[in-house]
Structure 1
Amino acid sequence: MPSALLVWYFVLVWGAGFLATKIALQYTAPFTFLSLRYVFGMACVALWMAWVARSAGGWRSIVWPATPTAWLHVAVAGLGVHAINLGGSHYSQYFGLSAGITALLLATQPLLTALIAKGFMHEHLRREQWLGVVLGLAGVVLVVWHKLDARTMSLPALAAASVGLLGITLGALYQKRFAPQVDLRASSMIQFAASLIVLAPLALHFEGFAVRWSWPLVGAIVFLVIGASILAVNALYILMRRGQATRATSMIYLTPVVAVLAEWALFGLLPSGLSVLGMAITCAGVALVARPARS
């Protein structure tokens, strides 16, 4: 599949995921919600595997990690991307952190990725790519400026968002470094199982596994499992396989842009002039990061 299509799919689903999560957290607490997601996710991946095995010549077409160490690498990456990332970001919303501050904190991922990849993975960005990283972040500040509400800031909420940011950044880089070519079906199953093993006891102990079942909750689970946890996360992994980690994660900058455009399309909320300027700067920054080197 073309990388451009994967990028836009990831951006659209990742942006919509914040709204779906906000709906779901009205009916259950974060760790409980994530545990439900991973149970449903494992069921979906099992059906996916069964379909592939039936149509592609048996279960041997699904390649599992060859050694216990390889299994561990996949599980560790999954704990970062799924359990720690989503646990942190969901709890930041649960604690009432505004959408603008949450988006701004998570939008620092490309910058954090660039710094870590330079120091530990020897990925070197060109000067215009560094400029693109800075421009992208500056553009996001302008896009979400009208949603920045300092009154929603609390130490637990900021800590949760920061933990989520570190989780997805380190988890994605760990996957790129130690499990770059793993079968995506096998990795999804392993990572969902590892995340469930960690989060389900926390949900039971701290949240009592309380759930108010409703159709909006079921819809959010289905959308976030199939659209985000399986398809969007695997799109991110594929993009990181194909190029620099920073280039792949720079698309995170576009999620607030998509959110503003969605508000306009769905609710008639016209973006401010400052937001439009920010969207233009953000797109220019992403273009600089993604532009291939001159030969």
Structure 2
Amino acid sequence: MSQKLSPGTMLLLATAPLLWAGNAVTGRLIHGLIPPITLNFIRWALAFVVLAPFAWKTLRADSPLWPHWRRYSMLGLLGVGCYNALQYMALQTSSALNVTLVGSGTPVCMLIIGALFFGVPPRRAQVAGAVLSICGVLMVLSRGSIGQLLSLRLVIGDIYMVLAVISWSFYSWLLVRTDEPASIRGDWAAFLIAQMVFGLGWSGAFAGIEWSTGQHEIAWSWPLAAALAFIVAGPAILAYRCWGLGVQRAGPVIAGFFINLTPLFAALLSLALLGEAPHLYHIFAFALIVAGIVVSSRRA
């Protein structure tokens, strides 16, 4: 896999975090209007409707998708069914900035999963960058206090976000395992809708479980409709398109460090839309995270 970072690849990998930061802020804005797992299901159902006219041939009975259903079912579970559902659940109890900063542990998770499950040992620079990034994440979790770090008690939102990071790391590594037909891999709409077909099944099942627990109240309104329109067009479709291309060009490890740009965008958007000003420890944490990006991609 290519590890070269061209300007075009960097733009792709930076666009996805910008849109995902907007997703986190939007999810925080509407967390009282719709249950989190239901939000994830509706998001992908609407995205499926938008993409279907461009990739309907992928769904035909003679499509090369179906012989590879196990691969796409796994991608759909990790990327569509789990990741954003867990993030929306985290946003029920955590701020958008905290959620995105905890998500900055992705590079460390990428390195560990790559070494343990995909036989890709990390480079020294990547390990150094990962250490810097995890220090930034620990600073967020401790709220800047060593004493609180020693007596750290994770809130449920933090745990949900850690699970989301693990899910996304496996998803990103599986993206570069290109054993599917070229007719699907070469068509971004076909590749994404192939994942959605199975992902909708997973997310629908999870939403059904949520509804069975009594969480089914949706406060339909124009603000919710506008939020759904943004989530579908930006984070659900455009961001996945940019991320998929970026990972294929740069590899999952290098791409993983670009996720750490999300907190910067989230901080700016949170201040503008939510009035959630960053604290001093957020600034120091982000400095460590950016340093991790620079160090890890030095040879890329």
Instruction: Find the partner of 1:16 among 19, 22, 41.
Output: 22
Q: Deviations over 1:134-158 (max 9, x none)?
A: 112323444676599999944x545
Q: Which residue of 1 aligns with 2:48?
A: 42
Q: Which residue of 2 aligns with 1:113?
A: 110
**How far apart, CA to CA, are the structure 1 residues paired with 2:36 and 2:200?**
13
Say whether 1:189 aligns with 2:196: no
The CA deviation at 1:113 is 0.6
After TM superposition, the structure 1 = structure 2 runs for residues 75-86 of structure 1, keeping only pairs within 5 Å, are: 75-86=73-84
When the two chains are superposed, the root-mean-square deviation of aligned CA atoms in Å is 3.2
Q: Deviations over 1:38-93 (max 9, x none)?
A: 2211111024448xxxxxxxx69x9x962634233123112101211112222222
Q: Which residue of 2 aligns with 1:53?
A: none
**How far apart, CA to CA, are the structure 1 residues paired with 2:10 and 2:111?**
21
What's the TM-score, normalizing by structure 1? 0.81
241-250 or 68-77, which moves further after superposition?
A: 68-77
**How far apart, CA to CA, are the structure 2 residues paired with 1:120 and 1:113?**
10
Letter in 2 for 1:76: M
Change (3 A) 1:276 1:200: closer
Change (3 A) 1:124 1:153: closer
8 Å CA contact 1:80–1:170 kept in 2: the answer is yes
Give unmatched runs, 5+ long, in structure 1.
51-58
Percent identity, please.
22
8 Å CA contact 1:100–1:147 kept in 2: the answer is no
**How far apart, CA to CA, are the structure 1 residues paired with 2:125 and 2:267?**
27
What count of residue pairs does the alignment treat as equivalent? Answer: 281
**How far apart, CA to CA, are the structure 1 residues paired with 2:137 and 2:102?**
10
**How far apart, CA to CA, are the structure 2 residues paired with 1:265 and 1:172?**
31
8 Å CA contact 1:143–1:256 kept in 2: the answer is no
After TM superposition, the structure 1 = structure 2 runs for residues 145-164 of structure 1, keeping only pairs within 5 Å, are: 146=143, 153-154=154-155, 156-164=156-164
Q: Which residue of 1 aligns with 2:3?
A: none
Letter in 1 for 2:194: I
171-180 or 221-230, which moves further after superposition?
A: 171-180
What's the TM-score, normalizing by structure 2? 0.79
132-141 or 10-19, which moves further after superposition?
A: 132-141
Give unmatched runs, 5+ long, in structure 2.
1-6
Instruction: Find the partner of 1:287 among 274, 294, 297.
Output: 294
**How far apart, CA to CA, are the structure 1 residues paired with 2:66 and 2:208?**
29
3-state SS of the aligned residue for 2:176?
helix
3-state SS of the aligned residue for 1:28?
coil
Change (3 A) 1:268 1:206: closer
